[in-house]
Structure 1
Amino acid sequence: MLTASQQKVYDYLKSRSRTGLPPTVREICAATGLKSTSSVHAHLKTLERKGYITRDAGLNRAIHITGDDDAIPLQVPLLGRVAAGQPILATEEIEGYIPYLPPRRTSDATYFALNVRGESMRDIGILNRDIVIVKQTPTAEDGEIVVAMIDGEATVKRIFREPDRIRLQPENPEFSPIYAKEVTILGRVVALVRNY
């Protein structure tokens, strides 16, 4: 647990770590409103002792944030295909990893990535050979873009629940909706990666 002043110093250090250059002690004073450099040194020592930062002895600007998970991209497994009946993250299905920095990280969130094959979602900008980042969840709201398993195949579509069936809606008029009594939702599409 940090005091308000320690938290202010830590938050400033985190914001500066994203720019690449750690601040000087005087810059920390100016940014946080602390009056003396000795106060900053005391807070830095406490942050180091509590494991929030590390410092290189005798060097200026040698402050490193430890465990700053919010600033480190996740390595999301890229699945070439999803086999029916197999766990979604079966290691033999992983083709590689895609870096992804979620807007807000939660410890219980699991992500995976899939190669998009086809043009059924082109009108909303999901093109053939794109990679979609998917937040694994068994549920989705009507209208959300999901990866769903139907007849042993994974597909990317908008989902809509109708009175007696589920509609997986493409975003391209050249493709027809897919109707089913039930589908398995593997997750919601949360990001797109396109390589040129």
Structure 2
Amino acid sequence: MTFSASRQRPPLPPPAEQPVFTLRFTASPRGARLARRLASHQMDAWGWGYGTPVHGAVELVVAELAANAVTHGRVPGRDAELRLSREPGGCVRVEVSDTRGERWPRTGSAGGEPDGEADGGRGLLLVAALSVDWGVCERAGGAPGKTVWAVIAPTMEAGPDLAAVGGPDLAAAGRGQPPTAGGDASTT
């Protein structure tokens, strides 16, 4: 079977020229890891190099939201979606959608503080600490599920104080170091 030239898609612009990056990924740990890695690549293409505070903040937010989507929002046979967009003023908007509409994360003080000895429960605190705003809404276009979004400011002068959010294990993970003995800071 051959296709005529008129039916072929036009070539995509280079990643640096795309104002929006969208990726559907499998609702699995491998899919969440892929979302984080490709978000990192896109941030580099947009000019926020590897190792810069904004790049690191977006990478961590994507990691947390994608991990939550595949852990708490998974519906067998349905994909999750990542969307990064450059907003006016240079902010980066991160959106992760899943198809589980009946399970929304608790926002604000209703979520409470996680138990100091608990292995989890700090992901959304991390998202709140790294973003200027975040929230949850229904998916666009009437699709089933929800979208958790966060807006990252482009002017982060220093990396986030992850120890204040989740203790030394989370701070070590944010620097790309393994957690200390007795704790596990990995999400994907």
TM-score normalised by structure 2 residue count: 0.23
| Structure with more contact order per residue of length (Cα contacts < 8 Å, sep ≥ 6) | 2
- Structure with bigger strand share is 1
- Structure with bigger helix share is 2
